[in-house]
Structure 1
Amino acid sequence: MNRDLTITDIRLTPVLVADPPLLNTQGVHQPHTPRLIVEVVTADGSTGLGETYGDTKYLELARPLADRLTGRRADDLNRLFSEAGRTAVDASRISGRVDAGGLRGVQTADKLRLSVLSAFEVACLDALGKSLGLPVHTLLGGKVRDTVEYSAYLFYRRAHHPEGVTAQEDDWGAALDPAGVVEQARRFKERYGFTSFKLKGGVFPPDEEIAAVRALADAFPGHPLRLDPNGAWSVETSLKVAGELGSLLEYLEDPTLGTPGMAEVAARAGVPLATNMCVTTFAEIEEAFTRNAVQIVLSDHHYWGGLRNTQHLAAICRTFGVGVSMHSNTHLGISLAAMTHVAATVPGLRHACDSHYPWQSEDVLTERLRFDDGAVRVSDAPGLGVELDRDRLALLHRRWLDDDGSLRDRDDAAAMRVTDPDWTTPPMPRW
């Protein structure tokens, strides 16, 4: 077999994917979310798939990086990082801070590069696996589990996007109070078999969200529960919520902003704290771990720079006795497959991973990945074990082409202003 892994072409396809009206502390999801699909084609005929954020600043960086990688080998993975480091980032595209979609903190050129690089790394691993006839988890050293457990990701949500906004409808309905949250959780359990539940908080005053968690505990006794207000609370409010909910929570995720605040809450709360906000790079680990600010890190291979960096992070967490699981943002099946492969290789993964995938009604794959008993089975097929549906890809790319530019950069505050022209992003802490 000719296994010439020289990269002969890299195809970049931005898409707009339907997103339901889920609420977070920044506002409501826009009706469509941008994603970027990366295809790496090698000389032996293998095509690998990757996926990442599709906002214009990511696409603008992906294009020159694709040019730099064409002609190199798909298995030369370490060189990916050096080539990404040589790819210039337009300083005007760095906002200083990012405050959207659950991601918050200082935006840097390196973070932007890693988010783009992650899709290229996954695509190269997929192509390499297809060429060698090996699954990605084998390329990462081998799986230690055959299924990966995921948690039901609960959101306060509206029944519909605002009138006049073109959006794909669904049958979930509104969830704006404890009863609505419990009903949403019940449907998640019936449809997908989830046995743990995470509520996106920071939307309503803390007492209302405390009531929602208590209602979940009453409806699903013994099921692990998490609450994530995306840093919307002060230290004192965080301590109040922790005191009210106590042992009902498996963990409290990013109740307040910054490592110093998290360390203070961790020292006084008696509830494990998780983060995907104050530890998002290797440089941020030392302060957070030495101050015992977090007990669980929620990795996201998109902004850690890929699957191998996720394994490196997990190894550091094990060294310090810190738990590890996975964060999620709006994503398609390529990313879910990549998450599942790397999660299958991580020893001691004791917390169900997050995933938005059940909320996504659209995909670019020929067959959607399935949740059975709240878990995804790890594919042993070559590569990621998924196949691109070019008709679906073309449809979602056409939506991106036809957009006037208003949806190519995610902006939850802009979506809120459709119904409330005076809406502004709330200052933090919100409560």
Structure 2
Amino acid sequence: MKITDLAITPIAFADPPLLNATGVHEPLALRTVVQLHVADGVVGLGEGSGELVVLERLARVRPALVGQSVFDTSAIEAIVFAELGNDVPPIQKRSVFSIIEVACLDAQGKLLGLPVVDLLGGAVRQTVTYSGYLFYKWAGHPGQAADEWGEALDPAGLVAQAARMIDLHGFGSLKLKGGVFPPDQEIAAVRALAEAFPGIPLRIDPNGAWSVATSQYVAAELAGVLEYLEDPTLTTPAMAQVAAAASMPLATNMCVVSPETVPEAIRLGAVQIVLSDHHYWGGLRHTRELGALCATFGLGLSMHSNSHLGISLAAMTHVAAATPNLAYACDTHYPWNSGDDVITVPFEFADGALRVPAGPGLGVELDEAKLFRLHRQYVASGRTTRADTAYLRQVDPAYDPSLPRF
């Protein structure tokens, strides 16, 4: 079946004021939805970054996709790489291809009457577990009323946030986005979570905001408390120094981000768990390959997320279900953003997990009216890029995002 067109729609949807190592989320998050049209009327869906450069690159490859077989994703990947040329780094080419590949797989599944998980080799699990994603946050965006989650700037606020996450979605593990406050404050927060929710696995991710010495200090202070410590410091050699002293595994989605970055991490023993992300690794099939690579070298495997909607969550669930050694609960931002989803039936977690959509394809349908509304919101916003640092500087002009911060 031949591809006849690729419709590219940027959207903007509501996002709470979630704090991180480089600033705070703006009131609107940006995303791109693609609709891959096939000759017999089938449309495959894909979702990815809403950055202007990604939109431009999708538009750049769009004409070359017309006439290609929707089943020939290897040829389509080669076309994407060729059309983007040598001026675009491989990892950025993969992020463009990943959006298109998911749409191809969705269309393939619809044509064959099969769920995407079957196109990836079949399900090794029927449900995929996810982790509650906790953030330090303001009560509301400046000038706006407090949102339904309220403020979380101290241990008590985070415990209340976690309790609500668990009550609403049943999550059985929790991850805190750190790197916001001095390490002792965040250590106190993790300990408060451990006391409030005994037996629930805990993680913290400061996004490289700590020096090696600080990372080693936090690892020692939280020995026996954390399930794993994610990206405490920048660079693979620095991670290796922390890993050598830490009692818990180190996880990453920052220093192992592509096949080219795997050998150094293994040679140095820098990480024990890789957080996959099909948006960065070049789609669902390459994510399955990462799973096999991790199994070969005895590395654990989980999944990273960023602000996303239901098309991405469906794709994440299909590939997680098809990856045998994905043994840790996956990250997801979905509880923060699901109110603006563009699918007709938003996902609902049961006991912190999702059943694999039955299909065909991704098993989700696009709500055209919602897509149109969020596209108009994108146009009206004038936004083209994510700017966490600039947004925080509206409140704190002296804010310095340089890493490491502590």
TM over 0.5: yes
The AA in structure 2 aligned to 1:249 is L
Q: In 1, are the aligned partners of 2:136 and 2:153 still within 8 Å (CA)?
A: yes
Secondary structure (helix, strand or coil) at the match of 2:83 reads coil
Which residue is 1:96 aligned to?
none
Which residue is 1:371 aligned to?
349
Q: CA deviation at 1:89?
A: 5.9
Q: 1:110 aligns with which of 86, 90, 94?
A: 90
Q: In 2, are the aligned partners of 1:297 and 1:324 still within 8 Å (CA)?
A: yes
Secondary structure (helix, strand or coil) at the match of 2:84 reads coil
Unaligned ranges ≥5, structure 1? 92-107
Q: 1:408 aligns with which of 358, 378, 384?
A: 384
Q: CA deviation at 1:421?
A: 2.8
Q: In 1, are the aligned partners of 2:291 and 2:325 still within 8 Å (CA)?
A: no
Alignment of 1:279-290 (within 5 A): 279-290=256-267
Q: CA deviation at 1:422?
A: 3.2
Structure 1 pair 369–169 and aligned structure 2 pair: CA distance change class (3 A):
farther
1:66 aligned onto 2:43 = no
1:428 aligned onto 2:403 = yes
Q: CA deviation at 1:72?
A: 0.5
Which residue is 1:271 aligned to?
248
1:54 aligned onto 2:50 = yes
Structure 1 pair 250–88 and aligned structure 2 pair: CA distance change class (3 A):
same
| Aligned-partner Cα distance in 2 for 1:123–1:345 | 18
Q: 1:139 aligns with which of 106, 115, 119?
A: 119
1:384 aligned onto 2:359 = no
TM norm structure 2: 0.98
Which residue is 1:94 aligned to?
none
Count of aligned pairs between the two proteins? 405
| Aligned-partner Cα distance in 2 for 1:31–1:348 | 37
TM norm structure 1: 0.92
| Aligned-partner Cα distance in 2 for 1:128–1:318 | 28
> What is the alpha-carbon root mean square deviation over aligned residues?
1.2
The AA in structure 2 aligned to 1:181 is L
Q: CA deviation at 1:348?
A: 2.2
Aligned-pair identity in percent equals 57
The AA in structure 2 aligned to 1:312 is E
The AA in structure 2 aligned to 1:344 is A
| Aligned-partner Cα distance in 2 for 1:130–1:150 | 26
Structure 1 pair 138–169 and aligned structure 2 pair: CA distance change class (3 A):
farther
Which residue is 2:107 aligned to?
127
| Aligned-partner Cα distance in 1 for 2:404–2:341 | 35
Q: In 1, are the aligned partners of 2:227 and 2:249 still within 8 Å (CA)?
A: yes
Deviations 1:31-61 (A, max 9, x none): 1111110111111211100000011000000
| Aligned-partner Cα distance in 2 for 1:324–1:202 | 23
Structure 1 stretches (4+) deviating beyond 4 angstroms?
A: none
Alignment of 1:87-102 (within 5 A): 87-88=83-84
Which residue is 1:188 aligned to?
165
Q: CA deviation at 1:90?
A: 9.4
| Aligned-partner Cα distance in 1 for 2:359–2:163 | 33
Which residue is 2:393 aligned to?
417
Deviations 1:159-217 (A, max 9, x none): 11112x7xx96300010000000110000000000010000000000000000000000
